[in-house]
Structures are given as structure tokens and as C-alpha cells.
Amino acid sequence: MAKDGGAHPRREPRLSGALTLERFTQVFHDCADFSLRRLRLWGEDGPEAVLCSIVGMARTERVNDYILRPLLRSGPPPENADLPAWLAASVLYNQDVRVETSLDQAVGGVINGSCAIFLSGCPGALLAAAATEEKRAVGEPENEPALKGARDSFVESLRTNTSLVRRRLRAPELKVREHIVGRQTLTPVDVLWLDGIADPDTVARLDRGLADLDIDGIEAAGDLEEYLTGNLSTPFPLMPYTQRPDRFCRGLLEGRVGLLADGIPLGWLAPGTLDQFFKTGQDRAYHWMAASALRLIRYSCAALTILLPGLYIALVTFHPEAIPVKLALSIVAAKQEVPFSTIFEVLIMLLSFEVIQEAGLRLPGPIGATVSILGGLVVGNAAVEARIVSPAVLIAVAIAGVAGYTQPSQDLGSALRLWRFLLAILASLGGLFGLTAGCAALIYHLAALETFGVPYLAPFTTGRPTPARGPSLLRLPLPWLKWRDGPIHTRNRRNQR
Amino acid sequence: MRGQLFCAALAAAALLTGCSPLPYPREMEDMALLRTLGVDRAGDGLSVTASTGPQANGQHQGEQEPALVLSARRDSLSAACLAMQSLSYRYVFFGYVDQLLLGEDLARADVRPVLDACARSGELSLGAQLWLTLDQTAAEAIRAGGSGGVDRQLITLGTDGEMGLSLLPRTAGEVYADLLDRGCAYVPALTRGEEDAPLTAAGYGVLRDGALKGVLTGGAARGLERLTGGGQADIWTQSLGENRVVLRAEGAGVTCLPRRGGPGTLSGLTVTCRVRASCEENNTPLTSGERDRAKRAVIARETAQIRAALTQLQAWGADCTGLGLRAAARSGAWTETGERWPERFARLPISLTIQVQLQDG
């Protein structure tokens, strides 16, 4: 039955009708990994049983030891016994066995690793869980390494990920609500929150978003982010993600709502305000003074990476009087005989920087590193010596590029890189006036953003009186941080005595 | 929609500010970056000479092109600066002028039009260091710098002055502000003894109502520095009975208090100068008697220098170190520093006290 009558109708249930062996095998016609085994129970006169499973999804040892062996070794059932119910209750060594009569449910169960047992003369089938647990082991978070903290990271298995969270948050208030997303992938996606702390409105927004998410499948992070945030007009990330369960749990403790998807070794947190993208999981591990200094450096580097190329263009080309004399003379000396204008130089160097970075990322590790060195050092040095580019421009662009790498969030770094180009172009058109107009536009853009009903610039500014936790620019001593962030509407703001 | 309307309104508002013409881009290597500007009187107009200082040479890295010197004569500073644009194949940029030389003839007439032009110019800055050139024109002083330019020498003189090793440097802005506030100001003066000799310190020119009244040199110049509370160190050899020591004295602050003859009546000023003195090049510690004699020698020398400066300043009616304003600041409601202050200052008895802090070697 179609869920809606539009151009993209969705059938629910996918397979209708009664569950029979014929229809079941018809569904898996042309499926090489479909396995079917016929048995005769309790001698030649006993009923026939047919075991159906998907090779690779069901674990062979479990099927042999906990389904086949007890079936073949058991004696006949008591008289007048309901055979499927008797087998489920008294024969099979399995925690999850049920009698299924729906074809749709049985097919789904077998695809997920269960074993369907059809008994001659009995309607429906027994569905016994025998799913394999083959998965990547919990390893270290490569993208968020920890010097002083936990070293486990999320993996592709959703249940493993929820268990990693549950091991840290043992309170029964941790709720996990599952949605199945994707017509073809049928991917389980879990919403996690701490009941009594998280904002129910944010939970409801995520639930609604996932329920409305009608796509073919979830294969990448964007399949969730772009649909759930609902804002495609900004390059700035609206949902922070992490590989680290400890950071994910910290987000839940702060009153945010988590999201985990099967097949993606990441956890998302909502709402994702701007300050979240400047924090790292290690901020709470270091001394507060060191962590505050590092956080200030990150903010400064964000300003540097976005402003420096534009500022260089504006000052050198439009407002040289604002440059200290000695620096100006150095720039003039470095620029002698360079055939290109400063604007062209900076824009081309910015583009080259992105090209070298992209080339380094797309190639395997050792080759990528070689390309980076070759592009960055050798070609850069040769270009300066051949007076194709000025060393001052090279230094300005390199500082801006390296400063961008201090951002803990690559998504934020990418957004800053895009705006860096825009501000450089505006500075090329109007000098400091253009740059200032660009900065004003950036602030306007950021102030207009919302993430799950929370202003993106919170807690710096929320547009309305909101109790804040403290200056987010700094990491205050933990005993002073007695309150959760006000702007994310936590139900219980106090987090310590 | 609201956002677009807001942006449109903002753009319209920006046009109303008069900022609609965007600045014109120029490449810095296509500019002649002037560093030193000299202004002389030429008949009823001005003769302006400017120098770039040594310039980068693109063809031969490490080598430098000789300084570019431009000169123009017009009725005003602005007109002369504009005329200079046609004298160079590059855009002549005045934004880096950090040394401003004023010829003696111009200073004797009136320097205020020049300083006013600097204040109003979009490129020239009042942050430039201001110097008087005595016994020569500013143009001669600049051209005497040769291919290396004169700017480095002036920068060194300014830095030395900030460190108490030479004349106190003054910016055009400081002098202009003093002329506007007090009607008088002092400006460091330079001279060149011989043709190829470098510029040397020649004391301070004292301006009143924009015109040069005279020059304080030698001890009087040092006395003026003490009245500002600082200045360069004074080193001399002093005989202390059988012992001869080298004494060093430097200013450590000044206070000025009004003396009242009755309610609201000013009868004089009491100036107290603090001086830090030390014995240099002295192998043996001074005895108590020698210390007293050394102290008295410092007091006598400092008193003579400061008194010489005060006498001359009072003769010119130029309170260019701001003694009146200091006294006013100390006495609260005292309002004697109005328009009649120069005449009052010229006749006012000033008592002088020197406080010496002597360190023994």
C-alpha cells in the first residue's frame, strides 16, 4: 500500500500476504547467498522442516549448534502440542525465537541474520536469531587522537556503538529510540538522549526528521546531516560529529541529543552551536589554563585563516598607508619583478593550496605526502625563486592555510575556506570596505542560522535573555561549571553540587 | 525575504554615507614611497623637497637603487605635493613620510599652514617626526643625504632621543597640538657643520604663535629637557677636592605648583626637578664629604641649565614645556592659563628646586 500518492510512492509493507515457503523462496529468487536446507524430523515419517538463511548474515556455527543440532536430536512433541510453539519453547537454544506469519517481517528478519524454519503442515515460520557479529574491532579514533583520555572509537556496528555509550552512561535515563531509514538500505538509526536533561523538543524534532526521511539509503554522513538540519544554504556545519564515545557522552550530559546510524562510525550531537566546533574532547582533560589558551588560539586561528588573504590584498593594494613602513618596504622588495598583480597572486595561491591539499588527500598516504611536499615546498620555492609569486604572498597564504588546520572540525574548516575565498574576492573589489562588508555579511549569515531551534551563535548571542554557563571562549575550571548551557533548553541545568 | 530587504536597505544606507566610490587599487611596487619631506619658504610660496630613501632593486637582489629626490615649488604644500606626481614615472605616495624637515626661513615665518596641511591630508601624517634645519634649507639637508637618503640618519636620531641619548624627538602632531593648546612649542633642531658632515643636534627651536622665536642650545637646551621631566644625560668631569670624578645626571621628573598671593591670586610658580645622578668611571667609593660635594655640584649645574632655559622662555613668553598647565592640573580650580598666560608667564617669579638622587658608581 502506497504511503502517499505522489510521484515517489512508498509501499508499506513492502511484501504483503501470508508467509509460505513458496512465496518466501520466490522473494529470494536469483539471490546466490540465499541458503535453503531440508530436514526430516524424528525419522522418515516425521514432518519436514526447511531452514532458510542468508549466508554471511547468519552465523553458520550458530545455525548448526543452536538450531540444527537441537532440532535433529529432539524427540517427537507431546500429543496435541502446537509444533512451532513447542519447538520455540522447548527445543531451540536461542534467546530470540518467534513464530512469524507475516512475509514482510520474515524476509526482513532473515536479511538481518535470522534463520527461518518452515514446518510442513504448519502456517507461518519460526524465526530464530543467528546473526553474525562479524565487525571491525573497536579501535582508536584516528581523526580525534587523545593524548590524555579514552582510546576507543565508534565502529560501523550500531549495537556496538550504543553499548559503548551505555558503558559510560549507566543511568537508566539514557534512552535509545530506533528508526529504520532508507527504502533500500533499511538502516537502523538511533536517537539517544538522557531523559530529564535533554530538551524533549529537540528529541521530537529529530524523531520527526527521521520519520520524514524518505530516501533510498544511508551511506554517508551527509545523508543524515543535510536532511535533518534542513538548511542547505550555509556551508557551516549545524550538527557536530565525533568518533569518540567519551565526547559523544559529554554532549549527552550537556543536554544535547545524540544520533547514531548503522554503518557509519560517527555519532552526531544536536543542537550544534558554533562554539561546539571549537571544542575538542581533550579540553576537559588538560589544565583549564592550558585548555583556555588552546581554545583562544583556535578562535584566533579561525579569524586568521578567514581574514588574512583578504586583509593582505586590502592593505597591499588599497591601503598601503596602514602597513608599518619596514614591512611595506620588505613587501615592495619581495614583489619586485613579479609579473602578476597582488590580487591575482593571492587568489591563484589560494587555489593552488586547495589543489595541492586535494591531491594529497585523494592519493594513498605515502604518495599523498610526497605530492604535498613536492607541491608545497619544491614548486613553491621554485615559484618564488623564479619570481612568479612573491614570498610575502606565499607566506600569507601558507599561514592562512595552516591556521585553518587548527580547527577541530573539518566541516567548519571547509566552511571557513569557502568564506576565505569570498572575503578575498570582496577585498579585491573594495579593499577594507569590501572586507568589512564581507565580515558584516558573514556575521549576518551566522546570526540568521538556527540549529534545531537554537541560534547558531549561542551562547555568544541568542537574541534573547538566556542564562549562559560562562564565557565559552575559555574553558573555566570544572568546579565552576555548575550549569549546563542555557540556550539549548536543558530540563535540568544544574550538573554538579 | 526579510533578509534581502535588510541587505537592500543596508546597501542604500551605505551609499548615503558618501563611501560609494570604492578605493582605487595600486600595486606597491609601482609606487615611489617617500620617506622624508622637507619644506622651505620660497618667496610667497613653499618649496617642497621629498626623498624616497634607498629603493629595492628587482634585477639585482640585495642591491638598492639610489634614493629618488623630487622637488616642487608652489603656493601651498598640497599644490606642491600634487605637482610632484608628474615628476616621477611612478605613483608618488606620501603615506610613509615619517620625517618632516622645516627650513629655518619657513619656521621664522609660520609653520602652522604646513602642519595644518598635514593634518588635513589623506596621506601625509601628523605622526611624522618634525625637525628644524638651522643654517641651511630643508632641501639642502635632504639632498646632502645623497644616494643613501637622509631618512635613516633621522630615524637613528629619533630613536636615540627616545632612549635619552640625543634630542627629544617630537612628532608633527605633538607640535601642532602644543601650538593649538599653548600657543607655543619646542622642536628639535638639526644643523650640518661642514658640507659632508652628518646632521647633528643643534638644540631646540622655540615656536610661539607658529613662528620661531629663537633656539635653545647647549645647557639651556638641556634645561628645557629637564623641564619636560626627561631628556638626555649630562656627563661632565667634576673636581671634588683631590678627587676627580665623572658625574652623570639625567632628569627623573618634574612637578610645578602654583604659589598664591591671596585667594585666586597667582604670585608665582614653584618648579621641582628630580634628577638622578651617578658617579661614572670612579674606582673608589666616595666619602660622605665627597658625596655632599658631588650633590651640590649636580644641583648647581642643573640649576644653571634650567634657569637659563626658563629665563629665555620667559623672555619669549613661551611656556612650551607646559608649566602653566601642570600647575593648573595640580591646583584644581586655578584658571590663570587662559589667553593672557604668555604675558603672565613672562613676568611670573619662578622658584626652582633640584632634588638629586645620587648613586655611587
Interface of chain B toward chain A, CB-CB under 8 angstroms:
3, 6-7, 10, 14, 19, 22-29, 31, 33, 35, 55-59, 93, 95-96, 98, 123, 125
- Residue to mutate among B28, B57, B94, with most A CBs inside 10 A, is B28
Question: For chain B, first and last CA: distance in Å?
Answer: 79
Q: Look at residue A1 in the predicted model and tell me its pLDDT.
A: 41
pLDDT on residue A197: 95
3-state SS track over A29-61: CCCCCEEEEEEECCCCCCCEEEEEEEECCECHH
A329–chain B nearest CA distance, Å:
8
Contact across the interface for A341 and B27, Cβ inside 8 Å? yes
CB contact under 8 A, A332 and B59: no
A459-468 average pLDDT score: 75
Give A449's pLDDT tier (boundaries 50, 70, 90).
Answer: very high
Average pLDDT over residues B242-251: 87
Residue A296 has pLDDT above 90, yes or no: yes
Give the pLDDT of residue B18: 57
The reported pLDDT for the residue numbered B281 is: 77
d(CA B116, CA B137): 21
Q: In what order do the strands lie in the sheet with A174-181?
A: A174-181, A187-194, A257-261, A267-270, A241-242
A335 touches chain B (CB under 8 A): yes
Cα separation, A160 vs A381, in Å, equals: 49
Cα-only R_g, chain A: 30
> What is the value of ipTM here, to two decimals?
0.75
| β partners of residue B39 | B48, B102
Closest listed residue to residue B266, CA positions, set B206, B163, B347: B347
* Among candidate residues A112, A151, A129, the one with its CA nearest the CA of residue A262: A112
- What value does the mean pLDDT of chain B take? 86
Return d(Cα B84, Cα B72) in angstroms, integer: 6
Answer yes or no: is pLDDT of B288 > 50.
yes
Q: Do A448 and B24 touch (CB under 8 A)?
A: no
Residue keyed to cell 530529564? A196
Cross-chain Cβ contact A332/B31 below 8 Å: yes
H or E stretch at A430:
helix A410-448
DSSP 8-state symbol, A371 = H
Which H or E run contains A180? strand A174-181
B112-165 residue pLDDT tens: 999 999 999 888 989 999 999 998 899 999 988 777 778 888 999 999 988 888
Q: What is the pLDDT of residue B334?
A: 56
Alpha-carbon gap, residue A164 to A317, rounded angstroms: 55
Q: What percent of chain A shows pLDDT beyond 90?
A: 63
For residue A271, is the peptide bond before it cis, meaning its omega torsion is within 30 degrees of 0?
A: yes
Task: Return d(Cα A136, Cα A262) in angstroms, integer.
Answer: 13
Query: Quick check: B274 pLDDT over 60?
Result: yes
- Give the distance from residue B52's alpha carbon to the nearest chain A alpha carbon, in angstroms: 11
- A358 vs A192, which has greater pLDDT? A192
Cβ distance A320 to B25 less than 8 Å, yes or no, reads no
Give the Cα separation of B22 and A102 in Å (integer).
73
Element (H, E) at A128: strand A125-129
Q: Which of A88-97, A189-198, A405-414, B3-12 has the lowest mean pLDDT?
A: B3-12
| Cell numbers given for A1 | 500500500
A404 Cα distance to chain centroid: 21
Per-residue pLDDT, B36: 93
CB distance B356 to B253 below 8 Å: no
Write the pLDDT tens digit of every residue in A386-441. Answer: 888 899 999 999 999 999 999 999 999 999 999 999 999 999 999 999 999 999 99
What are the residue boundaries of the structural domains of chain A, listed by start? 21-129, 158-270, 288-455
A367 pLDDT higher than 90: no
Residue B137: C-alpha distances to residues A7, A198, B106, B124 (Å)? 90, 80, 9, 21
A429 → closest Cβ in B22, B28, B96: B22
Are B73 and B48 in contact, with CB atoms under 8 Å apart?
yes
Contact A100, A19 (CB under 8 A): yes
Q: Who among A316, A319, A328 is closest to B96 (CB)?
A: A328
- What pLDDT score was predicted for residue B12? 67
Mean pLDDT of A446-455: 92
Identify the pLDDT of residue B244: 83
pLDDT band at B352 (very low <50, low <70, confident <90, very high): very high
- B28/A433 touch (CB, cutoff 8 Å), yes or no: no
Range with lowest mean pLDDT among A10-14, A343-347, B295-299 = A10-14
- Of B132, B52, B40, B42, give the one whose Cα is nearest residue B87: B52
One-letter amino acid of A375: G
Q: How far apart are CA B213 and CA B319, in angstroms?
A: 12
Cell of A76: 517427537
In sequence order, what are the residues at sequence separation of 6 or more whose Cβ sits closer than 8 angstroms to the Cβ of residue B29?
Answer: A332, A335, A336, A338, B56, B58
> Measured between beta carbons, which residues in chain A are less than 8 angstroms from residue B58?
336-337, 387
pTM over 0.90: no
Q: Which residue of B has its CA nearest to A429?
A: B22
How far lies B302's CA from each of A479, B201, B245, B299, B348, in Å?
A: 61, 20, 17, 5, 21
Compute the average pLDDT of residues A150-175: 95
Nearest to B94 by CA among B118, B58, B129, B116: B118
| Per-residue CA distances from A184 to A11, A178, A209, B285 (Å) | 12, 17, 18, 98
Spacing of C-alpha A149 from chain mean position: 21
The average pLDDT across A100-113 equals 93
The single residue listed with the C-alpha cell 510521484 is: A7
Q: What pLDDT is stored for residue B21 in this prediction?
A: 65
Q: At what angle do helices A245-253 and A158-168 cross, to 10 degrees?
A: 60
Q: Work out the end-to-end distance of chain A between its first and last CA atoms, rounded to an integer number of angstroms.
A: 55
**How high is the pLDDT of residue A3?**
47
Please identify which residue in the block is written with the cell numbers 660622605.
B288
Q: Which residues of A touch B25 (CB under 8 A)?
A: 317-318, 341, 343, 428, 431
**Chain B residues touching A431 at Cβ < 8 A:** 22-23, 25
Q: Which residue has the cell 601624517?
A: B125
CA distance B291 to B245: 11
- Phi and psi at residue A131, in whole multiples of 5°? -65, 145
Q: What is the pLDDT of residue A469?
A: 66
